[in-house]
C-alpha cells in the first residue's frame, strides 16, 4: 500500500488529488489492486474524479471513492457532481453527515463489474454486524423517501439560505469565508459551498480561539478547528435562524480582530508530508513499543498513528521514521490547542522498541 498526497492550498487546507499524480503512481513497476480517493475532503475540496477514473481504468483496476461528505451531491446544480456519475466503480456515502439520517448510516454504491458483487456481499457479511439496527435502516429509507418527494424544494430553499448568508457576510473585514475562486486550479477541481471555511489566517486569532468563542459566547457548535480556520457544516435541515445567528456572530467577532502577529499557523502546510517508511504497518504495531519524549523521538520509528482529529488524517503512520519536522509539528499542534490523537500523553509518543 502506498499513499497519494493531496495539494496543500494557499489557504492552508487539504486540497485535491491531481490526476497526473495518480498517473505517475500507476506508471511504475509496482502493481496495485485498486485506487482509493477521498472526495470531497472534510473541508469540501473535490478532486477531478472523472479524469482519475479514466487513468485508473487504463490500468484495469477499480476506483473507489470515499464520498462520505458528499451524500448531498447530485440533488442540485449548486453542488458538485457526485462520483457516482463520474466513472467511479465504488462510492461510499455517509448519509448521516450531510443528509437527515441517524449517525452511523451510510450507503455503498456498486457502479461496475470491475468489483465483484458476490465478493462485496461476502466481505460485508464478514465485517458487518449480524444484528443490524432496524431503526437505522428505517431512517435511511425515510431520508430517501423525503428526498424523492421533496428534495427539489428542500435544496432550493437551502440554496436560498446559503446565498443570503454569503450576502450578509460580505461585510466581514478580517475573517474570510473561502469560496471556489479562492482555490487554484491544481488545489481544487471543485468546492462544496455547504462547507463554510472560516479563515482567520490574516488575523491575531487562531482557529481554535474562534471555535471556542462561537461555542461559549454564541452557542454555535462548529464542526472543527484548525490552526487558522474553522469548518462549519451546513445542510438542508439548517434553518434561516441558524444562518442568521452565525452571520451576526462572525460580524461581531470580526470587529474585534487585529492583524496577524506571526506565522504560527503556517506549520499546517508542513504537517501532511511524505515520511520515509521503514517498516510495514503490521510489523511496526506488533514489534514491541516503548515510550519516548518528543525531544527523544527524532530518528525513531513510529509505533502508532498520530493525527489531528477531526478530521483524522495521519501526520504519522506506524512504520514511518519520525523526523525533526514531525516533532516540531506535534509541538506546534499542542501550542495551538489542537486535538492531537495518537500520542501517549502530552509530549510523549510510542516508538518501535529496537
Predicted local confidence at residue 266, as pLDDT: 56
User: Is residue 7 included in any domain, yes or no?
Assistant: no
Round to the nearest angstrom and report the end-to-end CA distance of the chain. 24
Distance CA 170, CA 165 (A): 9
Mean pLDDT, range 196-214, rounded to an integer: 94
Can you name the residues that pair with 93 across neighbouring β-strands?
A: 107
Task: Give me 129's grid cell.
Answer: 454486524
Q: pLDDT confidence of 268, banded at 50, 70, 90?
A: low
- Has residue 267 got a pLDDT over 80? no
Q: Which residue has the higher pLDDT, 265 or 203?
A: 203
Predicted local confidence at residue 11, as pLDDT: 75
Same domain? 73 vs 95: yes
DSSP per residue, 146-196: HHHHHHHHHHHHHHHHHHHHHHHGGG-SSSEE--GGGS-TTT-SEE-TTEE
Distance CA 53, CA 35 (A): 9
Asked which of 218, 242, 263 is the last residue of a domain, the reply is 263
Same domain? 241 vs 164: yes
User: Is residue 11 included in any domain, yes or no?
Assistant: no
Mean pLDDT, range 316-343, rounded to an integer: 87
Q: Which residue has the higher pLDDT, 281 or 338?
A: 281
Asked which of 263, 283, 317 is the last residue of a domain, the reply is 263
Distance CA 305, CA 218 (A): 35
Contacts of residue 69, defined as CB under 8 A and 6 or more positions apart, other chains included, come to: 40, 41, 42, 44, 94, 97, 98, 192, 195
- Has residue 230 got a pLDDT over 90? yes
What pTM did the predictor assign? 0.90
CA torsion, ordered 16, 20, 25, 29, to nearest 10 deg: 170
Separation in Å, CA 116 to CA 62, 112, 203: 11, 8, 52
- 90-93 and 63-66 beta bridge pairing: parallel
Same domain? 37 vs 72: yes
Q: pLDDT confidence of 185, banded at 50, 70, 90?
A: confident
User: Is residue 5 included in any domain, yes or no?
Assistant: no
- Has residue 82 got a pLDDT over 50? yes
What percent of the chain stands above pLDDT 90?
77
Q: Which residue has the higher pLDDT, 25 or 315?
A: 25
Mean pLDDT, range 135-148, rounded to an integer: 98
Question: Given strand 107-110, what is the order of strands in its sheet?
Answer: 35-38, 63-66, 90-93, 107-110
Same domain? 172 vs 124: no
Domain that holds residue 99: 19-137
Tens digit of each residue's pLDDT (9 = 90 or more) over 10-35: 777 889 999 999 999 999 899 999 99
Distance CA 216, CA 206 (A): 15
Mean pLDDT, range 61-90, rounded to an integer: 98
Asked which of 106, 137, 168 is the last residue of a domain, the reply is 137
Q: Residue 220 in 3-state DSSP?
A: coil
Task: Give me 158's grid cell.
Answer: 437551502
Q: pLDDT confidence of 314, banded at 50, 70, 90?
A: confident
What percent of the chain stands above pLDDT 70?
97
Predicted local confidence at residue 264, as pLDDT: 47
Judge contact between 31 and 57, C-beta under 8 A.
no
Predicted local confidence at residue 216, as pLDDT: 98
CATH number at residue 200: 3.90.1150.150
Least Cα distance to 159 among 79, 272, 55 occurs for 79
Predicted local confidence at residue 78, as pLDDT: 96
User: Is residue 121 included in any domain, yes or no?
Assistant: yes
Question: Please, what is the average pLDDT of the chain?
Answer: 92
Judge contact between 93 and 111, C-beta under 8 A.
no
Mean pLDDT, range 123-145, rounded to an integer: 95
Least Cα distance to 89 among 128, 31, 125, 37 occurs for 37
Counting the structural domains of the chain, the total is 3
User: Is residue 146 included in any domain, yes or no?
Assistant: no
Mean pLDDT, range 249-257, rounded to an integer: 97
Predicted local confidence at residue 87, as pLDDT: 98
Same domain? 283 vs 251: no
Predicted local confidence at residue 261, as pLDDT: 56
- Has residue 202 got a pLDDT over 90? no
Least Cα distance to 112 among 56, 164, 67 occurs for 56
Amino acid at each position: 500500500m502506498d499513499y497519494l498526497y493531496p495539494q496543500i492550498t494557499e489557504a492552508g487546507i487539504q486540497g485535491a488529488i491531481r490526476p497526473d499524480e495518480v498517473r505517475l503512481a500507476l506508471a511504475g513497476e509496482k502493481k496495485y489492486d485498486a485506487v482509493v480517493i477521498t472526495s470531497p475532503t472534510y473541508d469540501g475540496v473535490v478532486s477531478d474524479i472523472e479524469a482519475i477514473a479514466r487513468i485508473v481504468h487504463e490500468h484495469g483496476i477499480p476506483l473507489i471513492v470515499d464520498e462520505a461528505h458528499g451524500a448531498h451531491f447530485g440533488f442540485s446544480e449548486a453542488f458538485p457532481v457526485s462520483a457516482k456519475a463520474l466513472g467511479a466503480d465504488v462510492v461510499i456515502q455517509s448519509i448521516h453527515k450531510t443528509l437527515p439520517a441517524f449517525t452511523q448510516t451510510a450507503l455503498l454504491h456498486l457502479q461496475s463489474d470491475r468489483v465483484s458483487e458476490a465478493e462485496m456481499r461476502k466481505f460485508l457479511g464478514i465485517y458487518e454486524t449480524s444484528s443490524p439496527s432496524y431503526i437505522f435502516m428505517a431512517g435511511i429509507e425515510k431520508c430517501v423517501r423525503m428526498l424523492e418527494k421533496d428534495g427539489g424544494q428542500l435544496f432550493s430553499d437551502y440554496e436560498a439560505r446559503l446565498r443570503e448568508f454569503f450576502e450578509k457576510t460580505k461585510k466581514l473585514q478580517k475573517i474570510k469565508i473561502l469560496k471556489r475562486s479562492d482555490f487554484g486550479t491544481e488545489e481544487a477541481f471543485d468546492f462544496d459551498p455547504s462547507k463554510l471555511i472560516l479563515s482567520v489566517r490574516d488575523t491575531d486569532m487562531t482557529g481554535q480561539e474562534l471555535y471556542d468563542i462561537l461555542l461559549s459566547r454564541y452557542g454555535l457548535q462548529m464542526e472543527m478547528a484548525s490552526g487558522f480556520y474553522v469548518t462549519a457544516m451546513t445542510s438542508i435541515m439548517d434553518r434561516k435562524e441558524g444562518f442568521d445567528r452565525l452571520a451576526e456572530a462572525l460580524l461581531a467577532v470580526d470587529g474585534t480582530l487585529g492583524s496577524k502577529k506571526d506565522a504560527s499557523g503556517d506549520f499546517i502546510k508542513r504537517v501532511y508530508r511524505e515520511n520515509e517508511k521503514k517498516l510495514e504497518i503490521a510489523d511496526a504495531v506488533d514489534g514491541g513499543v516503548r515510550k519516548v519524549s518528543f525531544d527523544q523521538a527524532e530518528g525513531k520509528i513510529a509505533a502508532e498513528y498520530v493525527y489531528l482529529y477531526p478530521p483524522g488524517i495521519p501526520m504519522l503512520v506506524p512504520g514511518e521514521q519520525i523526523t525533526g519536522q514531525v516533532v516540531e509539528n506535534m509541538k506546534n499542534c499542542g501550542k495551538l490547542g489542537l486535538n492531537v490523537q495518537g500520542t501517549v500523553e502530552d509530549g510523549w509518543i510510542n516508538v518501535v522498541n529496537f
